[in-house]
A and B are shown apart, each in its own frame.
Chain A
């Protein structure tokens, strides 16, 4: 642990966590003076190849208000078979199953390198995963076909026990009954009328688990299934037929009109359906839309083509008449879904806007994906969509459901809980901590602050798992040890934390204010940690640990919600890329190298690759372009040039 950089990397590798400060100021006052808050970027499900799931339950602190999990930082009295909670100092008895515990026979959770450990919950039934497709049929045939293909492909990627369901919508919303013999059945709802879960339950005949099932052949299925959500192994054929039989919404669209698209109600029904059938079980609502909602709750634009969809201009002028209502609608959906641990994904493919702004809360609040492309018929959508179903080495999806993150910290003694419906290995949360210790009550030297993250989630195999990460940092007196604090600054983490904070503020405050706030924060930081001489601008100098931060800060701008969405959930590297695109240069002169975001980087014999997270631009230098035009890449003797051309695309 030579340097902080290594320390940081190691911590991130092991626990998936990075703090803005790795040494914490010991009082509230000082913490405020640090400008950049004490915060952490935490990736709860960071992929760990070396982390075997523990097949027993975690041991909890017996204090009702604490309930912290036994961890390597706890003091253990092997003789008395007692352990002291390092958060509340409660002394606890080990449970009977730990009778054989000793210094040499330690349970995994006490081993230091298991500061992050994963338990598999043994109690309760294994809940199947639920995938509910919500498909817009108001799109042209080509798009629809591509989408149908993608969906059919996705079916084959699902574990056989996964429950799937299908809702299609256009002018009406159809909930398809699966596994029907002969006649295919679907329940149809008006696209203009929102329904509560209770209404929906009655209308779909789901009144009670047993009541709704007496009709039809599905009655015999195991309890958790119903006519609308069935194991993919059982109904894959009929689902395939259903999907292939999907037709473009048959209601006529007269000229000068948009198709009536009941997106709001469709999503509401999807949420309601899961709400009354699989509350608190892992479920994904995958919404595929080809345009904005044009009727019913959630509509963002009327069906008159001559009225364009609201622009930023309208929004700023408060001129988007549907926006507030639509946002409210989707927010309430998001909240309901989140409350039940359901994920909402949105895949929007259209040339025009689709109203993601109003809907963003759905994926945001539920940990869902938001994907935007021009068409379902593009590689962008296809590959992204496939990526969703990518699997880890064990063949499990790289996704988890219905997670709960609980943070226990020392100091406040409080615990906080968040619900994160959808998690994947790269989901990263920013947590901002407040130091509550008073200035005049110094923490003893060498004291460490501990934080425990308890993440409960449903693994894609259906198991419920609990991952516990316990970490600790030193306290330092900002008065006296400012240097060591400064040295512990993780500028990348700080930049991302600040950016997220800024984005958050941008959503709640006026754009210019946010920019001003960012600037002020930067200035204050410089004041605090800069090393400069008064009245001499040239003397301004940052320590190396701060060198990148200002640059990042300035590029944080108000961006469209789609970007913000990603920004809020991606891991640090990705977030940084978003903040500051990366420019790689490929040339014959050496391996690819990052270069400055500057026109000076453009050289004739270079190929530049810019990665902005959302888009990748490849720029061929003048010479390269000439060579390419001349067709050198096709000549065997210039195979190296061919390689160079291909390099960025890999």
Chain B
């Protein structure tokens, strides 16, 4: 991504440019146009090019997966989304550039959603453009609407790429990628950028060529074309602004974006460029972007593998530099300025001229779409724009935004010293001018150089010019159109936000295991250098969608599962059978083990067992073994588990209606206890306890006429007062149980007991399970700080003064060791604790949560519980919690092949030693994050293997082993690592790492560590993988271009940066909650999903918008989802029609913001909206209460808290600011 936000960059540009030029590699020539282009392209192309050239070479093939993603994101990724961080920092000036970009973005985004006005302009224009783009750019930008369709086109991409590749290198690689995953190629593109490092040469040839060098010409042409386009198409319509500015911007932006998106396309186009003619059609589109690219090229180039290209001064800027590099800015967003190109663009004529005219044609198309489309053909453009955005996100947005951006941003943007600012200010036209300027940079570099910088400087980083999560998400969705097969080692799966089907072909489904890196560094040094965490997020019992087969159960008979003699790894597809099948060699430890006679099978000519496809354990990544008695505790077949309900009946609980609600609900819930076969009654037994400061056990034996209550008031030394009749089968004792549940609320209706105990409650459940000799789960419903005299008594230690001090960490630590010991006992017994809290004040979640967290349980918290408004949420949570698939008394062990080792584990569990993760309970929602470290060298040839084995007792009492296998590649080039990362998973790891860190370190230190690590990751990339470029340019790896924005979200979370109104309990609660989240949950938690509710079509969700207030339109309604919260935001001047459709009221003022569910109205919109809400709820492990927020209401503050790209009330940086900060950090590291 090129986020040329910082105009400052601009100034640099001049320099950079030169530099670039140099880097440009031969490009100098290009430099201007091509260079610019290429660069842009590069970025864009980069990916693309990457695909073809470098990538292929590098053996991208492996990356195929990437490609796919890359495709989508390529632009960014490849190039490493070069963001011009420059923005903020160094070159404030750079600011401007962003502006441009921003504007465009805004437009786009806004156009789509909120920024009505800007969008409009842009939109319209774009549409047309998009249209065109679609073809080329589609791929890129198609993103949203167009994407799918466009994607269709992808082929074109491929083609292009192919061509490109063909052109440059060998089409082969690309092609492969092209088709299916052309993506790979695409990814490669990014890689290409990486390539830059290694393959550069080749690249340069291939990609660069395509994009920059060779292609350059074309590119230039492309740009030119684009420019031309503009002139032609755009000009007319937009002419004033849009046309030019937009174009220019777009170019810049687009370049950027396009680059990315286009990159591929562009690349193709590039390649195309050369071939352009041929490609033209398809490529063209891209090319259009390319044109932008040109400007971008700089960026892109930088970003993209095309380093070479980038190197060409221009690219760099474009890519990395979005912001910063003023110069780059020009190239990139800011870079637009690179206006060098812009100029060209601006002076479309110039461009053309400067730019490789020939390509232009193509580019034009593509570009036009983006831009023009945007501006000129508003309508159609929309998509394009979006596309553009999507592609580059930034681009798209940029494109449009730029226009708008200019408008808006201008102010924001730090006025670039030179022309840019003015331009912006001036209006689009200006923008354009900048563009021209850009062009300038390239072509008239000299001139531009100066001007460009200036403008950039003026502007601030354009939010639209920086990597957009939405863009990335949509790109990934668009490019994922076939099932994901797990057979290829090292292939990264689609993002968690994408719906896709998985076919298990030997590695565990990403629903079970997701890795931060699918290409692990071979050596510890590399790993250390890159600082990229090597981790896997494992969700062993994840629920699969109905169209995927749950793991098969394998029975190896009395001998139990076949295992390696030495390391005890279980039979899996990686085991090598030798000696005709009589023995097998363990792929983890290399030890050779005899095959037991009953398991013997002959091998075929390839050395595979003849039956390997008949046996899940030889062909699948995930499966289960039936465990023998040797795997059971005390060598005894386990008893069926039990559920014990422990209900607080103190004054608060009774008064709030909680007790009645629970008892009422349990009556029906007991028919839904987990079972494996829906036909059969659950074998789980149940027991009931109520308590305040004493405990009441209930004898509900079937033979009794009435339940009996046994009070244990000696809480200091808890015991279970009865055995027979406490744990019963629901069906047998139904009458007694119902009688009991009817009577409990009455019995305590007049209670005045306000004190409660807590430790003894868990002890009681534990003792009951011990007495029954079974595992099980406790459901504790608790209301208050346990201050009654008893073990585990707590005192109120909430002290807000400690926040921010070194002692803050103590607030996250449990008050006493009592609960730690208790947790240990619980784990030994297989007693899992789920805690439902209903506090009205501080209850010390940090301490109360110790046992649930250590036993694999969950904590639910309903602060200020009120029956009316919270009942629904609580009951849904309870239902789900009781019904969900769960295993007990589990032990998880992660085995790895020689060279790496699982060193640390994050989640809800307990560890007695360093290897065994003990989980008293493990349900389908719990994920465990495992960190790996090197203890030796890995080999590229064999890759790295990991096998996660979970031994557990199923809900029917069967002892089983669930095995998940995962193989990843290993690399000796850092570039490969960066090309195969998954940011969402990295964020999952980093957040858990940080949230654990606050236990022992000052929060600030933890935050600093995070920022630092992130900076190191990115700096390492910049240093080792990205093409040389101006220091002012921020260059991000394609796969990690969202790392800064997501990381910022982590840093701003309530745990690490609490607002004034966030209680200690909330923080502790969140901290513990995150620790067992999987990637999808952390993703939406940190970056909430914000849907504009404009047109709701069945089957598809509206495309989300970025989490920023400026994306909200006063006239709209938005749905925001975090996995925990669900908001419906209603703009103050919302259209009446919407109101009628949603609320059945014509007036904003009449909306009742206390409603928790929408009225059921008989109109398609309302129906669809409610469907959407339901589907959201169904996706999450916790029920989200709907909160209606009216704009300007007080409740809006809470809502705004989740607009994570904005500055937060608690002092959290805005995305833009943080990106600048990150860039500064990176620069410091680099210098």
A172 adjacent to chain B (CB < 8 Å): yes
B821 adjacent to chain A (CB < 8 Å): no
**Contacting B722 at CB < 8 Å: which of A195, A203, A205, A250?**
A250
B713 and A214 form a contact (CB under 8 A): no
A74 adjacent to chain B (CB < 8 Å): no
Mark contacts of A197-232 with chain B using CB atoms, 8 A cut-off: 1 yes-contact digit, 0 otherwise.
Answer: 001001111000000001100000000000000000
**Of residues 145 to 189 in A, which have CB atoms within 8 Å of B's CB atoms?**
172, 174, 177, 180, 182-189
Q: Shortest CB–CB separation between residue B742 and chain A, in angstroms?
A: 9
B706 and A183 form a contact (CB under 8 A): yes
B743 and A172 form a contact (CB under 8 A): no
Q: Which residues of A contact B708 (CB under 8 A)?
A: 183-186
Q: Which residue of B lies closest to A199 (CB)?
A: B714
Mark contacts of B1061-1082 with chain A using CB atoms, 8 A cut-off: 1 yes-contact digit, 0 otherwise.
Answer: 0000000000000000000000
**Contacting A187 at CB < 8 Å: which of B706, B712, B719?**
B712
Mark contacts of B17-33 with chain A using CB atoms, 8 A cut-off: 1 yes-contact digit, 0 otherwise.
Answer: 00000000000000000
B750 adjacent to chain A (CB < 8 Å): yes
Q: Which residues of A contact B707 (CB under 8 A)?
A: 183
B706 and A184 form a contact (CB under 8 A): yes
Q: Shortest CB–CB separation between residue A221 and chain B, in angstroms?
A: 16
**Contacting A252 at CB < 8 Å: which of B711, B714, B723, B740?**
B723
A251 to B694, CA, bound (A): 22
A628 adjacent to chain B (CB < 8 Å): no
A214 and B712 form a contact (CB under 8 A): no
B117 adjacent to chain A (CB < 8 Å): no
Q: Shortest CB–CB separation between residue B292 and chain A, in angstroms?
A: 77
A174-B721, A214-B750 given; A193·B709 CB < 8 A: no
A193 and B706 form a contact (CB under 8 A): no
A258 adjacent to chain B (CB < 8 Å): no
B747 adjacent to chain A (CB < 8 Å): yes
Q: Which residues of A contact B751 (CB under 8 A)?
A: 215
A215 to B696, CA, bound (A): 14
Q: Which residue of A lies closest to B711 (CB)?
A: A187
A174 to B723, CA, bound (A): 14
A190 adjacent to chain B (CB < 8 Å): yes
B723 and A250 form a contact (CB under 8 A): yes
Q: Which residues of B contact A187 (CB under 8 A)?
A: 710-713
A186 and B710 form a contact (CB under 8 A): yes
Q: Which residue of B lies closest to A191 (CB)?
A: B719
B719 and A182 form a contact (CB under 8 A): no
A199 to B711, CA, bound (A): 15
A184 and B713 form a contact (CB under 8 A): no
A205 to B751, CA, bound (A): 13
Q: Which residues of A contact B528 (CB under 8 A)?
A: none
A455 to B708, CA, bound (A): 45
Q: Which residue of A lies closest to B695 (CB)?
A: A188
A199 to B713, CA, bound (A): 10
B706 and A185 form a contact (CB under 8 A): no
A183 to B738, CA, bound (A): 12
B1109 adjacent to chain A (CB < 8 Å): no
**Contacting A185 at CB < 8 Å: which of B709, B714, B722, B750?**
B709
Mark contacts of B718-735 with chain A using CB atoms, 8 A cut-off: 1 yes-contact digit, 0 otherwise.
Answer: 010111110000000000
Q: Which residues of A contact B714 (CB under 8 A)?
A: 189-190, 193, 195, 199, 203
Q: Shortest CB–CB separation between residue A359 and chain B, in angstroms?
A: 24
Q: Shortest CB–CB separation between residue B229 and chain A, in angstroms?
A: 83
Q: Shortest CB–CB separation between residue A215 and chain B, in angstroms?
A: 6
A295 to B1005, CA, bound (A): 56
Q: Which residue of A lies closest to B740 (CB)?
A: A183
Q: Which residues of B contact A182 (CB under 8 A)?
A: 706, 739, 743, 747
B717 adjacent to chain A (CB < 8 Å): yes
Q: Which residues of B contact A199 (CB under 8 A)?
A: 714
B800 adjacent to chain A (CB < 8 Å): no
**Contacting B752 at CB < 8 Å: which of A172, A185, A214?**
A214
A215 to B711, CA, bound (A): 14
Mark contacts of A541-581 with chain B using CB atoms, 8 A cut-off: 1 yes-contact digit, 0 otherwise.
Answer: 00000000000000000000000000000000000000000
B717 and A190 form a contact (CB under 8 A): yes
A183-B708, A184-B708, A186-B708 given; A204·B713 CB < 8 A: yes
A185 to B722, CA, bound (A): 13
**Of residues 659 to 714 in B, which have CB atoms within 8 Å of A's CB atoms?**
694, 696-698, 706-714
A182 to B694, CA, bound (A): 20
Q: Which residues of B contact A185 (CB under 8 A)?
A: 696, 708-711
B694 and A203 form a contact (CB under 8 A): yes
A250 and B721 form a contact (CB under 8 A): no
A180 to B712, CA, bound (A): 17
A185 to B740, CA, bound (A): 12
**Contacting A184 at CB < 8 Å: which of B694, B697, B709, B723?**
B709
A214-B750, A214-B752 given; A250·B724 CB < 8 A: yes
Q: Shortest CB–CB separation between residue A569 and chain B, in angstroms?
A: 36
**Contacting A190 at CB < 8 Å: which of B696, B719, B753?**
B719
Q: Which residues of A contact B712 (CB under 8 A)?
A: 187-189
**Contacting B710 at CB < 8 Å: which of A174, A190, A195, A202?**
A174
Q: Which residue of A lies closest to B713 (CB)?
A: A203
Q: Which residue of B lies closest to A202 (CB)?
A: B713
**Contacting B750 at CB < 8 Å: which of A172, A202, A215?**
A215
Q: Which residues of B contact A188 (CB under 8 A)?
A: 697, 710-712, 721-722
Q: Which residues of A contact B696 (CB under 8 A)?
A: 185
Q: Which residues of B contact A205 (CB under 8 A)?
A: 694, 713
A78 to B174, CA, bound (A): 138
Interface centre among A177, A182, A195, by most chain B C-beta atoms within 10 angstroms, is: A182
Q: Which residues of B contact A215 (CB under 8 A)?
A: 750-753
Q: Which residues of A contact B698 (CB under 8 A)?
A: 183
A174 to B740, CA, bound (A): 20
Q: Which residues of B contact A180 (CB under 8 A)?
A: 709
A174-B721, A190-B714 given; A183·B747 CB < 8 A: yes
Interface centre among A177, A186, A205, by most chain B C-beta atoms within 10 angstroms, is: A186
A251 to B723, CA, bound (A): 7
Q: Which residues of B contact A214 (CB under 8 A)?
A: 750, 752
Q: Which residues of A contact B706 (CB under 8 A)?
A: 182-184
Q: Shortest CB–CB separation between residue A156 and chain B, in angstroms?
A: 24
A214 to B706, CA, bound (A): 24
A79 to B398, CA, bound (A): 129
Q: Which residues of A contact B740 (CB under 8 A)?
A: 183
Q: Shortest CB–CB separation between residue A171 and chain B, in angstroms?
A: 9
A250 to B719, CA, bound (A): 15
In the assembled complex, 7 residue pairs joining A and B whose CB atoms fall closer than 8 Å, in A order, are: A180-B709, A182-B747, A187-B712, A188-B722, A190-B714, A214-B752, A252-B723
Known: A185-B709, A188-B712, A215-B750. 6 other contacts (CB 8 A): A177-B711, A183-B747, A187-B710, A188-B722, A190-B719, A252-B723
6 tightest A-B CB contacts, nearest first: A188-B721, A203-B713, A250-B724, A185-B709, A187-B711, A188-B710
Q: Which residues of A contact B (CB under 8 A)?
A: 172, 174, 177, 180, 182-190, 193, 195, 199, 202-205, 214-215, 250-252
